[in-house]
A and B are shown apart, each in its own frame.
Chain A
Amino acid sequence: GAVVSQHPSWVICKSGTSVKIECRSLDFQATTMFWYRQFPKQSLMLMATSNEGSKATYEQGVEKDKFLINHASLTLSTLTVTSAHPEDSSFYICSAPKQGGGYGYTFGSGTRLTVV
């Protein structure tokens, strides 16, 4: 149980276009979703936290207008990279707190974004 489905797994887009990444909680309700970014051979960096029905919280240095996060329902959170540039090329991973107590997380499988 506690599966987060992330799509697409990889995407190539042209500079200046926008790309949407979706994370769905399949068998539980995710009131919170964390979005991470991972550059090649580097660590995961928390970008933002989305909460269902309210505005996302962004980490320092993350552009709100470039990385639009929407958490419209208890099972879907989306990250839209707007006006993408080659430097936005990265691996993006979502994660939701596991339900039923405890303090673990379940991760999506990640999205590799390449901007050309």
Chain B
Amino acid sequence: AQTVTQSQPEMSVQEAETVTLSCTYDTSESDYYLFWYKQPPSRQMILVIRQEAYKQQNATENRFSVNFQKAAKSFSLKISDSQLGDAAMYFCAYRSPPGGGADGLTFGKGTHLIIQP
């Protein structure tokens, strides 16, 4: 079974600064997908960024980027120019490839991101 570990229960960053959230995972599969989701107080899950394991290039979405290290099984999220609206719980998630069994997501325990004005 796959596991996802987020070792930072809480992180705090000054507005406009950069913060990196850590995520490691364990899997025996060679192909898979990784996600970062944001859950604000409304509890609606919002996709931040995603990465296919077969792609070496790190995904980027505006101020959000990842550092995907497949050999190390690491998938960190970097948020640049932090904004007050970025404050939320952030979950790292893993998905097996289609046909590889369960297609549901395995989530980490989450990191509570606080933005200091």
Contact = CB atoms under 8 A, between A and B. Distances in A.
A42 interface: yes
Given A42-B109, A105-B105, A95 B45 contact: yes
B43 A43 contact: no
Contact of B105 (A32, A34, A57, A110): A34
Interface stretch (B11-19, B22-30, B80-88, B96-104): B96-104
Interface of A is mostly: strand
Contacts of A95: 45, 104-105
A46 B104 contact: yes
B86 to A, nearest CB: 19
Contacts of A46: 102, 104-106
Given A42-B110, A43-B91, A97-B103, 5 more contacts: A36-B104, A91-B43, A93-B43, A103-B52, A107-B44
Interface of A: 32, 34, 36, 38, 42-46, 49, 57, 91, 93, 95, 97, 103-105, 107, 109-110
7 contacts: A36-B104, A43-B109, A46-B106, A57-B102, A95-B105, A103-B33, A110-B43
